Amino acid sequence: MYKVLVMDNVAEEGLAPLRQNPEIEVVIGGKMTEDELCAAIGEYDAMIVRSATKVTARVVENAARLKIVGRAGVGVDNIDLAACTAKGILVVNAPDGNTIAATEHTIAMMLALARNIPQAAGKMREGIWDKKAFLGVELRGKTLGILGLGRIGSAVAKRAQAMEMEVVAYDPFITEEKAATLAVRLLPLEEVLQKADFLTIHMPKTKESYHLINDDTIALMKDGVRIINCARGGIIDEAALYRAMQSGKVAGAALDVFEKEPNTDSPLLALPNFIATPHLGASTCEAQLNVAVDVAEEIVAALTGGLVKNTVNIPSISPKALAAVRPYLGLAEKMGRMLAQLVDGRLKKIEVVYSGDVAKCEVAPITTALVKGVLDPILQEVVNFVNASFLAKNRGIQVFQACDGEGEGYSSLITVRLYTDKGENSLAGTLTGQNEERIVMIDGYRVDLVPARHMLYVPHQDKPRIIGPVGTLIGEHSINIAAMQVGRKEIGGKAVMLLSVDCPVPPETLKAIAAIDGVFSVKMINL
């Protein structure tokens, strides 16, 4: 008999797959402290949580029988993935259960914004019938700009088209062919901002998208634009939005998410043309039921030997094959993350070649880890070891893998190339000693770099007075350089510099480095 602990008031109807299995006993847990959970968890084979319960490293340490933790939702921030992975515990989530809920909330916010519905309803409750004060606009014939054309962005596009809106989108990680199947025109960010009457955001919050909507980008927009964000707080600079709404540049805005939550004292709330909801995107009865059912089915599969589809930490392969490739998974994912931050343009193809001993392994999980690394920083969807290849295919990104046997002097070598509409970038990596990760080649230049959390990539002319000024500029901001590698092919030609730093280099310093005579470009890489 397997025992499953269910926390955080997960929808009872969603537990049906568990209760219908005679081999599974379901126990509903009340609110527990970390100490109480540590004391109780040892007798359970599986656990389901929402966002309240924290599955910490201490909890995992005390989980003698635990095989799987399910998150009835998308995010897994409350689960220590590293601790679970180290102990061989699967972590699963429900990435698709709230798609329709978030889509419909976006449409509801757009309609409310167009017709001033919350403001008019508020006046009615005050006993005021003021028909003239709330003149709205129609959606038909308007242009909807979508930033991020993933699951939710695509679903919003479909519904907007049903209301006879023209839809344009910015998403550098979806192909034009895929967008064409959605009848959506892909455009550069600046053009989407310039054309949109309504602008809706469906992107993840990354270092590239943080405060993407700011004073400068708002200045590119039409006068009277209306902005909706039901994705992630922090993509909009809320102070800049406030200024634009006060000036009339932005006719109205509707936010379901804020940079800091909960948030009930934002200056935006004082503006009459602002609409807000308290992060309700996934808050429907159906969504809560869907995510509970999805996770319950995953728990049943994991406990009874079935296929687990939505693992976020461990690929679903045999234990023997997993043991052989496990040391390479972290390296491959980091290589993917690095390359995703180096490339420019629209991603079209990922190519990976395995050489040496690694070529004798079951390399498909390594490729999946690499694709996950490429997509994870740039997609709003949750990317895991099961859906990474599907998400790439769904966006028209081709993935090729090959094994060539020879390791170019290394016992094992993984070489990756990303191709975009603007060119290609490549990395090669290996494991040395006690499975120590190394980047040994970047864009054809030989280096020997340990992947670090923060790295600076500086292609430059091979000549004096490049390295010194770069180091000086970084030092002026009291940022320590932990390691540095320089690679070149010929004296006086093009060279590359890679620096491991203790913290991110500020944007103004990056601009100063890029302005050094002989520096071609500069990229901040965060792993």
- Whether residues 32 and 64 fall in one domain: yes
Q: Do both 300 and 217 map to the same domain? A: no
Residues contacting residue 299 through CB under 8 Å, at least 6 positions apart: 4, 17, 18, 24, 46, 48, 68, 70, 92
Give yes or no: residues 263 and 137 share one domain: yes
Q: Do 58 and 83 sit in the same domain of this protein?
A: yes
**One domain for residues 459 and 447:** no
The one-character DSSP state at 258 is: -
Share of the chain above pLDDT 70, in %: 95
Write the pLDDT tens digit of every residue in 376-418. 777 756 576 656 777 788 788 888 988 876 666 788 999 999 9
Asked if residue 512 and residue 434 are part of one domain, the reply reads no
Whether residues 353 and 215 fall in one domain? no
Q: Are residues 128 and 261 in the same domain?
A: yes
142 in a domain, yes or no?
A: yes
Are the C-beta atoms of 460 and 496 separated by less than 8 Å?
yes
Last residue of a domain, one of 451, 467, 498: 451
Q: Which residue has the tokens 């847990």?
A: 29
Estimate to the nearest angstrom the gap between the alpha carbon of 386 and the chain centroid.
Answer: 15
Closest CA to 325 of 414, 453, 232, 428: 414
CATH code, domain with 516: 3.30.70.260
Tell me how far apart the alpha carbons of residues 333 and 392 are, in angstroms, rounded to a whole number. 15
How far apart are the C-alpha atoms of 319 and 151, rounded to whole Å? 32
- For residue 441, being part of any structural domain is answered with yes
Q: Reduced to 3 states, what is the DSSP secondary structure of residue 198?
A: strand
Residue 320 lies in a domain: no
Q: Is 13 inside a domain boundary?
A: yes
432 and 461 fall within a common domain = no
| Position 321 in a domain | no
Domain boundary at 263, 293, 314, which?
314
Domain count within the chain:
4
246 occurs within a structural domain? yes
Q: Which of 434, 451, 468 is the last residue of a domain?
A: 451
Boundaries of domain holding 152: 99-276
> Which residues are the active-site residues?
232, 261, 279
Same structural domain for residues 234 and 351? no
- CATH number of residue 65's parent domain: 3.40.50.720
Q: Please state the pTM of the whole predicted model.
A: 0.69
* Residue 81 within any structural domain of the chain: yes
Going residue by residue through the chain, which has 527 residues, state the pLDDT in tens, using 9 for 90 and above.
999 999 998 989 999 999 999 999 999 999 999 999 999 999 999 999 988 899 999 999 999 999 999 999 877 878 998 888 767 788 999 888 888 999 999 999 999 999 999 999 999 999 999 999 999 999 999 999 999 998 899 999 999 999 999 999 999 888 888 899 999 999 999 999 999 999 999 988 888 899 999 999 999 999 999 999 999 899 999 999 999 999 999 999 999 999 998 999 999 999 999 999 999 998 899 998 999 999 999 999 889 877 787 888 766 555 566 678 888 988 999 999 999 999 888 888 999 999 988 888 888 889 988 998 898 777 756 576 656 777 788 788 888 988 876 666 788 999 999 999 888 999 999 998 888 999 999 998 898 989 999 999 999 999 998 889 999 999 988 889 998 889 888 888 899 999 999 988 988 999 999 999 999 999 999 98
Is 398 in the same domain as 494?
Answer: no
DSSP designation for 506: P
**What are 316-364's pLDDT values in tens digits?**
555 566 678 888 988 999 999 999 999 888 888 999 999 988 888 888 8
Whether residues 185 and 48 share a domain: the answer is no
224 contacts 198 by C-beta, under 8 angstroms:
no
